């Protein structure tokens, strides 16, 4: 089947080779970044016939045993086709560096909607997100209530802030969520993180962990002040519990200490 041939070839031609090739061809041109993205897309088109992929996938009725999907540098529509044929059993999706051919926002929106409709059992999700697609993310969170870990990446810097994403997460029924990871292009203000922690604690949810990932410290928006805020949140919760425990007029009850942890991970 053509799919297997393309998959073998895809492993040999890595995304890094294509990025380096595009950089060498237009290194000193004006509008270097924009032209580089266009050239990368054209190189991919030369190497991969995505219409053949789509045709092959359309001939497959279902992937009945698919529980984990890991993709890199695939078009959004190909990822969506695979998910649609999964039979609703996917537990983990790891989608990185999705290719952008036409309208990134719309293509990304369609992928989020596809996940929302077809992955009710999803527990782990890594996904490229356009920060304009918050309504679709909200719908996905309502349908994928088993999510425990989410890693948000994005191809462009989210400015001024991505606080609206935190609000969407807080207003969702994700009671099992325990880890939020994000790439260095996401920017959350001190006030946004503080409000998120207050709202999260008020709903008696599971302890939450923040895991920022960064490629370069120059582009990194997570600061020492963010860390201090999270540590203060932990201290306040522990102090409240200790005072309550020492008050004899209050009957002691088992309480799980609220923990919010920031873990910095440098991508090598």
Q: For the chain, which residues make up each domain, given as ranges?
A: 1-60, 66-266
Check residue 144 and report its DSSP letter.
-
138 Cα distance to chain centroid: 14
The pLDDT assigned to 123 comes to: 98
How confident is the model at residue 102, as a pLDDT? 63
Alpha carbon of 251 to those of 45, 137, 236, 256: distances in Å? 68, 41, 20, 16
As a whole number of angstroms, the distance between CA 146 and CA 126 comes to: 14
Predicted local distance difference test score (pLDDT) of residue 32: 58
- pLDDT of 98: 64
Interatomic CA distance for residues 185 and 222, integer angstroms: 10
d(CA 102, CA 169): 28
Q: What is the pLDDT of residue 90?
A: 93
Query: How far is residue 215 from each of residues 20, 120, 156, measured CA to CA in Å?
Result: 17, 32, 13
In contact, 179 and 146? CB cutoff 8 Å: no
Could you tell me if 230 and 240 are in contact, meaning their C-beta atoms sit under 8 angstroms apart? no
Is the Cβ–Cβ distance between 164 and 131 less than 8 Å? yes
3-state secondary structure of 231: helix
- Phi and psi, residue 150, nearest 5°: -135, 135
- Tell me, what's the pLDDT at 165? 93
* Tokens representing residue 254 in the block: 């088992």
Tokens at residue 77, please?
């529509």
**Exposed/middle/buried for residue 145 (C-beta within 10 Å: 0-12, 13-18, 19+):** middle
- In 89-167, the DSSP E strands lie at 92-96, 124-128, 149-153
What is the CATH class of 66-266?
alpha beta
Dist. CA 231–CA 210, nearest whole Å: 12
pLDDT of residue 39: 57
Separation of alpha carbons 185 and 147, rounded Å: 23
Q: Are 191 and 160 in contact (CB under 8 A)?
A: no
In a 3-state reduction of DSSP, which class is residue 174?
A: coil
pTM of the model: 0.69
Give the pLDDT of residue 114.
97
Under 8 Å between Cβ of 124 and 155: no
Q: Which residues of the chain have pLDDT under 70?
A: 1-61, 97-102, 159, 215-220, 232-268
pLDDT in the model for residue 249 = 42
């Amino acid at each position: 089947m053509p799919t297997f041939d393309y998959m073998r070839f895809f492993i040999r031609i890595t995304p890094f080779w294509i990025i380096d090739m595009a950089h060498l061809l237009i290194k000193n041109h004006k509008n270097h970044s924009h032209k580089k993205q266009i050239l990368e897309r054209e190189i991919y088109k030369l190497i991969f016939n995505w219409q053949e992929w789509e045709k092959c996938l359309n001939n497959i009725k279902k992937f009945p045993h698919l529980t984990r999907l890991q993709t890199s540098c695939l078009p959004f529509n190909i990822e969506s086709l695979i998910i649609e044929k999964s039979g609703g059993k996917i537990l983990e999706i790891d989608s990185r560096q999705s290719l952008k051919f036409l309208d990134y926002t719309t293509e990304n929106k369609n992928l989020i909607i596809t996940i929302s409709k077809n992955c009710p059992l999803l527990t782990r999700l890594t996904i490229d997100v356009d920060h304009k697609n918050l309504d679709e993310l909200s719908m996905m969170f309502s349908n994928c209530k088993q999510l425990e870990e989410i890693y948000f990446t994005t191809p462009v810097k989210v400015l001024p802030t991505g606080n609206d994403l935190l609000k969407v997460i807080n207003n969702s029924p994700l009671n099992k969520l325990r880890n939020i990871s994000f790439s260095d292009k996401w920017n959350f203000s001190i006030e946004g993180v503080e409000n998120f922690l207050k709202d999260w604690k008020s709903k008696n949810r599971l302890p939450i962990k923040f895991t920022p990932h960064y490629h370069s410290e120059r582009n990194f928006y997570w600061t020492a002040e963010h860390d201090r805020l999270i540590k203060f949140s932990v201290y306040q919760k522990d102090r409240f519990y200790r005072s309550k425990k020492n008050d004899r007029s209050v009957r002691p009850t088992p309480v799980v200490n609220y923990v919010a942890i920031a873990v910095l991970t440098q991508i090598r």
